[in-house]
């Protein structure tokens, strides 16, 4: 299939004259894979349509939120009705309480939730809350885990930071960096050693309970349980960054799947139904430290925006009322996994595939990918060829080897078979 991107190329050139790099989030620039980024005109269900009229089967789904497909009618209808009544007030609205009650009912271990505008803001606020509650300053994060672009987290971050070859960003001060302690993902011994060296100094451990920013990387058996035990032993808080995994892998997220309770949970993506929403939540004891009840300040003019709350409430309600949705998503992802593996094996291409629920990633490596190091050692040149071969077949996957794919329930098995067939037909003479 020959795809033309003339209009996208023109728009990218125009954008670069007024937007840094021509994009508002770096991974969109195709730096990791080369070529011209695709400018989307519209989307429906499982498909994207670009400005040149090309159709693509979508495997990023806005990096996770479109779990039931693009332009999901109940969400669109809810947005239209809410917009007619006003788009922002900077005052409390009933819909904020309704979505808060719904989330608290769905997610284990939380009593209260504070809504913000992005996953970055949620994680940043969660760490401030943990530090204020514990009266300690240091945090532990994991190499390759990405918790947004707040200064504390841009120390060996994954995703876009890896794509651009600068795991630590200029502009992050040494003072900030010294309070972020790094451990390899899936390595409990390293975390234990960090706690020993920093006795009574660590406020929290923050982790993606299923990593999604070095590709999809599941936690090893016992890893999350071990983090919980270490935090208990050292009087530190455990923060689950479920910006990607919350409401995507289960109604109650990874806490429900793993039966491991976090002290603070961060949300984004699905919780906003496609609009900019983040949130952080915890038990009453911790959340009472937030202003206006407590001394830890956090605020936002657009936090709890009625459009965003309406979209999130509608999507979460649909997920909560559908007992089969997560099983359908997992089965489709498993089907895709088996098909891709068979196609690549037939072509004698070394690979490993990671999958949890409706998150999946393909790594061109002959060893298991379990952490940042093994993810970065995969064959990125082969991934570039894979990406463009898929794109030219009308299939849009993440334009970086360090991103998870996200499956939507709108995908049909015909879409999956088409994708598998396209992979079978890739010429690997590179």
What CATH number has the domain bearing residue 343? 3.90.1150.10
User: Which alpha helices (DSSP H) does 260-403 contain, by range?
Assistant: 284-287, 306-321, 325-346, 372-376, 380-392
DSSP track, 186-216: T-HHHHHHHHHHTTTTEEEEEE-SSB-SSS-
What tokens appear for 266 in the block? 């961060």
Give the pLDDT confidence score for residue 166 in this predicted structure: 36
Determine the Cα–Cα distance for residues 71 and 135; give it in Å rounded to an integer.
Answer: 45
Asked if residue 343 and residue 291 are part of one domain, the reply reads no
Give the pLDDT confidence score for residue 311 in this predicted structure: 98
Tens digit of each residue's pLDDT (9 = 90 or more) over 263-300: 999 999 999 999 999 999 999 999 999 999 999 999 99
Active-site residue, selected from the candidate residues 5, 31, 50, 146: 146
What CATH number has the domain bearing residue 114? 3.40.640.10
Determine the Cα–Cα distance for residues 199 and 220; give it in Å rounded to an integer.
Answer: 26
Beta bridge pairs of residue 182: 141
Give the pLDDT confidence score for residue 173 in this predicted structure: 72
Asked if residue 372 and residue 279 are part of one domain, the reply reads no
Asked if residue 283 and residue 397 are part of one domain, the reply reads no
- Mean pLDDT on 193-211: 97
Beta bridge pairs of residue 40: 50
Give the pLDDT confidence score for residue 236 in this predicted structure: 98
Tens digit of each residue's pLDDT (9 = 90 or more) over 164-201: 333 356 777 777 778 899 999 999 999 999 999 999 99
Q: 159 pLDDT exceeds 50?
A: no
Active-site residue, selected from the candidate residues 31, 82, 143, 269: 269
For the question of residue 58 being annotated catalytic, the response is no
Q: Quick one: three-class SS letters along 137-176?
A: CEEEEECCCCCCCCHHHCCCCCCHHHHCCCCCCCCCCHHH
What tokens appear for 300 in the block? 């936002």
Find out whether 270 and 72 touch, Cβ atoms under 8 Å: no
Report the SS3 class of residue 353.
Answer: strand
Asked if residue 123 and residue 64 are part of one domain, the reply reads no
Q: Among residues 22, 45, 25, which one has the least CA distance to residue 35? A: 22
Tens digit of each residue's pLDDT (9 = 90 or more) over 371-388: 999 999 999 999 999 999
Tens digit of each residue's pLDDT (9 = 90 or more) over 121-156: 999 999 999 999 999 999 999 999 988 887 677 665
Tens digit of each residue's pLDDT (9 = 90 or more) over 384-410: 999 999 999 999 999 999 999 999 999
What tokens appear for 197 in the block? 């060296």
Asked if residue 360 and residue 216 are part of one domain, the reply reads no
Q: Supply the mean pLDDT for the chain.
A: 94
Asked if residue 177 and residue 212 are part of one domain, the reply reads yes
Give the pLDDT confidence score for residue 71 in this predicted structure: 98
Q: What is the pTM of this model?
A: 0.94
Is 312 inside any structural domain? Answer: yes
For the question of residue 16 being annotated catalytic, the response is no
* Burial of 170 (C-beta count, 10 Å sphere; 0-12/13-18/19+): exposed
For the question of residue 269 being annotated catalytic, the response is yes
Give the pLDDT confidence score for residue 169 in this predicted structure: 65
pLDDT band, residue 163 (cuts 50/70/90): very low
CA 171, 173, 177: angle at the middle one, nearest 5? 120
Domain boundary among 271, 288, 321: 321
Asked if residue 99 and residue 61 are part of one domain, the reply reads no
Determine the Cα–Cα distance for residues 224 and 221; give it in Å rounded to an integer.
Answer: 8
- How many domains does the structure of the chain reveal? 2
Residue 67: which domain range?
6-71+324-424
Give the pLDDT confidence score for residue 293 in this predicted structure: 96
Determine the Cα–Cα distance for residues 323 and 244; give it in Å rounded to an integer.
Answer: 20
Domain boundary among 271, 290, 321: 321
Q: Among residues 218, 258, 240, which one has the least CA distance to residue 356? A: 218
Give the pLDDT confidence score for residue 3 in this predicted structure: 66
Determine the Cα–Cα distance for residues 289 and 129; give it in Å rounded to an integer.
Answer: 7
Give the pLDDT confidence score for residue 364 in this predicted structure: 97
- Mean pLDDT on 15-42: 94
Q: 342 pLDDT exceeds 80?
A: yes
Domain boundary among 321, 351, 370: 321
Asked if residue 402 and residue 329 are part of one domain, the reply reads yes
Query: To the nearest 10°, the Cα dihedral for 80, 81, 84, 90?
Result: -100
Is 305 inside any structural domain? Answer: yes
Find out whether 423 and 343 touch, Cβ atoms under 8 Å: yes
Phi-psi label, residue 135: left if phi above 0, alpha if psi -120 to 50, beta otherwise: left
Active-site residue, selected from the candidate residues 241, 263, 409, 415: 241
Give the pLDDT confidence score for residue 23 in this predicted structure: 94
Q: 219 pLDDT exceeds 50?
A: yes
Give the pLDDT confidence score for residue 158 in this predicted structure: 45
């Amino acid at each position: 299939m020959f795809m033309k991107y003339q209009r996208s190329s023109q728009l990218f050139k125009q954008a670069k004259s007024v937007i840094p790099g021509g994009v508002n989030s770096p991974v969109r620039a195709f730096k990791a894979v080369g070529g011209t980024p695709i400018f989307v005109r519209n989307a429906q269900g499982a498909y994207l349509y670009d400005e040149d009229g090309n159709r693509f089967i979508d495997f990023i789904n806005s990096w996770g939120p479109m779990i039931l497909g693009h332009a999901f009618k109940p969400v669109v209808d809810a947005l239209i009705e809410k917009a007619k009544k006003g788009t922002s007030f900077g005052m409390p609205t009933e819909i904020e309480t309704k979505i808060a009650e719904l989330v608290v009912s769905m997610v284990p271990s939380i009593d209260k939730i504070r809504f913000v505008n992005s996953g970055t803001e949620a994680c940043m606020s969660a760490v401030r809350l943990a530090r204020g509650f514990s009266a300690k300053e240091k945090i532990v994060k994991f190499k390759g885990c990405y918790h947004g672009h707040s200064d504390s987290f841009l120390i060996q971050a994954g995703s876009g930071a890896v794509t651009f070859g600068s795991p630590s960003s200029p502009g992050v001060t040494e003072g900030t960096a010294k309070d972020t302690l790094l451990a390899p993902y899936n390595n409990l011994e390293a975390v234990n050693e960090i706690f020993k060296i920093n006795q009574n100094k660590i406020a929290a451990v923050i982790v993606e309970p299923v990593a999604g920013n070095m590709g999809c990387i599941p936690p090893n058996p016992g890893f999350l349980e071990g983090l919980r035990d270490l935090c208990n032993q050292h009087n530190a808080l455990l923060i689950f960054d479920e910006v990607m995994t919350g409401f995507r892998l289960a109604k109650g997220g990874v806490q429900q799947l793993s039966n491991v309770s976090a002290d603070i949970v961060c949300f984004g993506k699905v919780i906003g139904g496609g609009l900019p929403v983040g949130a952080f939540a915890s038990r009453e004891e911790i959340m009472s430290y937030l202003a206006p009840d407590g001394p830890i300040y956090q605020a936002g003019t657009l936090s709890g925006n009625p459009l965003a709350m309406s979209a999130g409430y509608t999507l979460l309600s649909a997920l909560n009322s559908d007992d089969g949705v997560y099983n359908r998503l997992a089965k489709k992802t498993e089907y895709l996994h088996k098909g891709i593996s068979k196609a690549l094996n037939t072509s004698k291409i070394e690979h490993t595939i990671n999958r949890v629920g409706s998150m999946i990633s393909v790594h061109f490596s002959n060893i298991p990918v379990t952490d940042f190091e093994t993810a970065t050692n995969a064959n990125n040149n082969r991934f570039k060829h894979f990406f463009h071969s898929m794109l030219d077949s009308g299939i849009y996957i993440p334009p970086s080897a360090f991103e998870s794919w996200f499956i939507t329930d709108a995908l049909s098995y015909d879409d999956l078979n088409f994708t598998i067939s396209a992979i079978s037909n890739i010429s690997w003479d590179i």
